[in-house]
Structures are given as C-alpha cells and as structure tokens.
C-alpha cells in the first residue's frame, strides 16, 4: 500500500506521513499536500492505488486521522484517536523490506520511487513542466536532475522528428 502510494503520487516521504484520511477524495482520486516551502499542490492517485486505499481505509476500525499508522495488532490501535502516524524512518524501512521481499536487488528508497514516478511520466510522454508541477519543484532544473532520458528514447525522438521535411 505504501509503495503503491509513493509510486502513484510521487510524494516525498515527509508528505506521505502527513496525509490525513479526511483530506483524500477517493471519488476524484485526489488530495492536497503541503510540500517544501509550505507550498500546497494537488496530488492524484491512479486507479489501482485509489482502489487499494479505499479497501485499506474501509478495513480500519480506528478513528485516527492519519492514513498510514503504526499497526501491530488490535492492542496498538487507540480508540481515543491518539495519533500513531508512521514516521519517515518507518516508511524507509518498509520500502526496503518489501523491495527485498519482492526480489529487487538494487536498493530502493522512498525517494527512488519518486524518481521512478517522474521518469515513468516522462517516458510515457508527459511534458517536463507538468512533471515539475506534480513533484512540487520550484525550479525546472530540479526536475531535470530527477529525470534521465535513455539513449533508446533519444534515438526514437531523433528518428521521429529530425529531417522530416527532407522526405
């Protein structure tokens, strides 16, 4: 669930731990986060993530507002609303654990999933300005650092667009 949300949204780990249940609109698949520089931005959930979040939140029997909580069994769930929000470090450990379980050899971090989010968007045709906005970057330079274009992609662009008028 956490990995799905990170990849679906491109959130920073600090933004992920701050998500509250009452802020997510599961019907539209969007919510607001306050990012770096205290700037608000809209975040979108893909269908798969939206479906998993909906199932997860329906099963929760507590009244805590945090989306991602420290849950080790019924005795750890506070019925009085005490916040047991996961920490950034907990998220890092969870990502590492499930990447290992999934057989991923390369080290995966929450920030790495953010990078994959941006790369996936660009490889599938999104423009860099839109990706910049979705990541909450003030500068396009920061977005360019996150992304990389493969030689294969460059060759495809070259073949598709260079010298078209000469034919």
Q: Which residue has the tokens 């990706």?
A: 131
> Is 98 labeled as catalytic in the residue annotation?
no
Q: Active site residue: 21, 41, 111, 115, which one?
A: 111
Candidates 34, 36, 97, 148; catalytic one: 36
**Is 12 among the residues known to form the active site?**
yes
Q: Is 152 a catalytic residue?
A: no
Name which of 141, 139, 135 is nearest 12 in CA terms.
135
Phi, psi (rounded to 5 degrees) for 8: -70, -30
- Which is catalytic among the residues 55, 97, 137, 152? 137
- Catalytic residue at 137? yes
Rounded Cα gap, residues 5 and 10, in angstroms: 8
- Is there a catalytic annotation at residue 115? no
List of residues 6+ apart from 136 with CB closer than 8 A = 12, 33, 35, 36, 39, 41
Is 36 tagged catalytic?
yes
Q: If we measure between CA atoms, which residue out of 8, 9, 1 comes closest to residue 56?
A: 1
Q: Kindly list the catalytic residues.
A: 12, 36, 111, 114, 137, 146
């Amino acid at each position: 669930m956490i990995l799905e949300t990170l990849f679906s949204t491109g959130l920073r780990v600090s933004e992920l731990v701050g998500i509250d249940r009452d802020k997510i609109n599961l019907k539209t698949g969007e919510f607001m986060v306050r990012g770096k520089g205290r700037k608000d931005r809209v975040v979108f959930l893909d269908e798969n993530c939206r479906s998993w979040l909906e199932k997860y939140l329906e099963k929760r029997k507590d009244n805590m507002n945090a989306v991602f909580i420290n849950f080790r069994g019924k005795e750890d769930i506070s019925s009085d609303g005490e916040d047991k929000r996961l920490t950034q470090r907990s998220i890092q450990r969870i990502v590492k654990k499930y990447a290992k379980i999934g057989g991923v050899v390369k080290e995966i971090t929450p920030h790495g999933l953010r990078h994959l989010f941006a790369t996936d968007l660009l490889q599938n045709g999104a423009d860099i300005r839109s990706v910049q906005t979705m990541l909450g970057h003030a500068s396009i330079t920061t977005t360019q650092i996150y992304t990389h274009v493969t030689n294969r992609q460059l060759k495809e662009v070259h073949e598709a667009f260079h010298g078209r008028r000469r034919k």
